């Protein structure tokens, strides 16, 4: 038996015990009883008028007209910043996240609050939220379909060990950070375990779609490094979304019995999707004729899966993700569905999610020096846990140092997946606007640094190789 086989349960066991110890100690901390005052200023009502101009203004303020205007502005700004991001060799998602922050209170609301409140009045955010949730459900469905389970099986041991170490180590560091920040930064009436679990999961996420696109853009697809990185990210996504479902179940539960029931139902749901729905879906996809019928069947499974996940209490997005994973592999249904969904989801609905995140991100709340110190600690914890944890574990399982460091840099990419987790925490009332803003900035920074980190690693090893040749 390889030494690495023994290290896997040792690493997981030690850090799981440490996480349990921190949570047990944190449960003794007193719960805060006051809530910070942080709200987005509602839009001022329009001044009354008369005549044609007044009527046109009234039509423009109609909810549907306002929603269409919001979508137009969001798409224009998102496309602009996505284009600028690609010009500096960054994924378009980085620019779209920045676009959301620009349209929110951090910039537009700071320099022209009247415009922000007129375009994005608080009463209209519910419509944007529903649209963004639909877009995210479609996107998670696509992410699930893009996971190649066969590749995970081929490199199962090494990939699972790297991905699980890259989750458990930053999770432990996030829980430890929560212990020291809980009393100052947790919302009122939120217990320690809820706050700690969300801080842990926020440190542990890897953005599988962004990582896959970086691998593709850099020509690493099919290489040992690219295959290992994508496999690790796939295993990371499956595990992290499973943990997130458990965390949401615990947070939403009213007691231990409620949490146990929710988690049990979630396990039954996952079992049924893989061992009952998946074989049935395989047979039906083979039996039915015509692409429209197949697409309708896939949408039906997506909607039912999302509905059941929401009813159970583990979130719509987890159900959408599982629905994508169980789609038949060997048929053209995946490419067919991806072609139909990806453009609508990625080009139209996801930018709405980014802007909604930007409207919630109030960087101006970080108006004291010690808050930026806390942000620096969050960055240190996030990068050291994910980058170092992945790289060291990759080295332990036999990867050369260059590949191990590159895997660490890629696994440190958070991007969209991190924003999804943060918005879930925000909507559940687990994260204050201050902490939310810090974590959004962390997600942006860790995604932004992936490309430069890879370039730096390649440059250092190329220079080292060149120096070695010259010396010889």
148-157: long-range contacts (C-beta < 8 A, 24 or more apart)?
148/230, 148/234, 148/329, 149/325, 149/329, 150/329, 151/227, 151/230, 151/231, 151/234, 152/231, 152/234, 152/235, 152/238, 154/231, 155/227, 155/228, 155/231, 157/4, 157/5, 157/8, 157/397
Dihedrals phi, psi of 133, to nearest 5 degrees? -65, -40
How many CB atoms are located within 10 Å of the residue 7 CB?
15
Work out the pLDDT band at 331, boundaries 50, 70, 90.
Answer: low
Distance CA 472, CA 469 (A): 5
Q: What's the confidence (pLDDT) of residue 279?
A: 92
Mean pLDDT score, 196-218: 83
Distance CA 448, CA 81 (A): 14
Q: Where are the domains of the chain?
A: 133-350+374-471
170 vs 152, residue with greater confidence: 170
The tokens of 392 are what?
């060291």
Q: Rg (Cα) of the chain, in Å, rounded?
A: 23
Q: What's the confidence (pLDDT) of residue 214?
A: 79
Sequence-separated (6 or more) residues with CB below 8 Å from residue 445:
379
Work out the pLDDT band at 266, boundaries 50, 70, 90.
Answer: confident
pLDDT higher than 80, residue 17 = yes
pTM attached to this predicted model = 0.80
Q: pLDDT by residue (tens digit) across 398-436?
A: 888 999 999 999 999 887 788 888 988 998 899 999 999
- H or E element that contains 331: none
Q: Please tell me which of 34-38, 119-123, 298-302 the model is most confident about, judged by mean pLDDT.
A: 298-302
Distance CA 463, CA 466 (A): 5
Q: pLDDT by residue (tens digit) across 292-315?
A: 888 888 889 999 999 998 888 777
Sequence-separated (6 or more) residues with CB below 8 Å from residue 293:
none
The CA-CA-CA angle for residues 385, 422, 406, to 5°, reads 35
Sequence-separated (6 or more) residues with CB below 8 Å from residue 2:
none
Distance CA 87, CA 292 (A): 38
- Residue in the structure block whose two tokens are 């459900």: 137
Per-residue three-class SS string for 27-95: CCCCCCCCCCCCCCCCCCCCCCCCHHHHHHHHHHCCHHHHHHHHHHHHHHHHHHHHHHHHHCCCCHHHH
Distance CA 135, CA 133 (A): 5
The tokens of 361 are what?
């991100």
Distance CA 26, CA 30 (A): 9
Mean pLDDT score, 77-96: 87
Q: Is the dihedral of CA 373, 193, 267, 261 positive or negative?
A: negative
Q: pLDDT by residue (tens digit) across 93-105?
A: 788 888 988 998 8
CATH of domain 133-350+374-471: 1.20.1530.20
């Amino acid at each position: 038996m390889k030494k690495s086989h023994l290290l896997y349960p040792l690493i997981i066991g030690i850090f799981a015990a440490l996480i349990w110890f921190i949570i047990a100690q944190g449960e003794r901390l007193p719960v805060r009883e006051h809530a910070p005052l942080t709200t987005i200023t509602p839009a001022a009502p329009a001044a009354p008028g008369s005549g044609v101009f007044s009527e046109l203004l009234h039509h423009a303020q109609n909810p549907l007209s306002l929603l269409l205007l919001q979508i137009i502005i969001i798409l224009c700004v998102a496309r602009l910043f996505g284009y600028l991001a690609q010009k500096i060799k960054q994924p378009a998602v980085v620019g779209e996240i920045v676009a959301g922050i620009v349209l929110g209170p951090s910039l537009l609301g700071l320099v022209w609050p009247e415009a922000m409140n007129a375009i994005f009045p608080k009463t209209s955010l519910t419509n944007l939220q529903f649209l963004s949730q639909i877009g995210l459900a479609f996107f998670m469905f696509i992410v699930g379909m893009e996971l190649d389970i066969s590749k995970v099986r081929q490199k199962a041991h090494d990939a699972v060990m790297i991905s699980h170490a890259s989750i458990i180590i930053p999770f432990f560091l996030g829980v430890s950070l929560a212990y020291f920040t809980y009393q100052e930064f947790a919302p009122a009436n939120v217990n320690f375990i809820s706050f700690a679990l969300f801080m842990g999961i926020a440190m542990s996420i890897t953005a599988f779609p962004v990582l896959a696109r970086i691998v593709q853009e850099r020509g690493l697809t099919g290489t040992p490094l690219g295959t290992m990185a994508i496999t690790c990210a796939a295993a990371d996504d499956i595990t992290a979304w499973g943990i997130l479902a458990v965390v949401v179940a615990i947070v939403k539960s009213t007691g231990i019995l409620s949490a146990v029931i929710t988690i049990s139902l979630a396990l039954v749901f996952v079992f049924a999707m893989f061992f009952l729905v998946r074989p049935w879906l395989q047979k039906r996809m083979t039996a039915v004729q015509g692409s429209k019928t197949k697409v309708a069947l896939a949408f039906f499974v997506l909607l039912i899966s999302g509905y059941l996940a929401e009813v159970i209490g583990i979130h719509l997005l987890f159900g959408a993700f599982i629905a994508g994973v169980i789609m038949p592999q060997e048929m053209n249904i995946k490419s067919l569905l991806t072609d139909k969904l990806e453009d609508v989801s990625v080009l139209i609905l996801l930018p709405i999610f980014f802007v909604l995140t930007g409207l919630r991100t109030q960087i101006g709340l970080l108006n004291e020096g010690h808050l930026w110190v806390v942000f620096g600690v969050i960055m240190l914890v996030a990068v050291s846990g994910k980058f170092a944890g992945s790289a060291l574990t990759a080295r332990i399982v036999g990867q050369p140092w260059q590949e191990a460091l590159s895997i660490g840099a890629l696994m440190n990419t958070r991007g969209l997946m991190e924003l999804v987790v943060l918005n879930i925490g925000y909507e559940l009332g687990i994260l204050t606007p201050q902490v939310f803003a810090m974590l959004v900035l962390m997600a942006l920074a860790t995604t932004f640094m992936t490309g430069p980190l890879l370039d730096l690693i390649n440059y250092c090893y190329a220079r080292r190789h060149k120096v070695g040749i010259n010396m010889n």
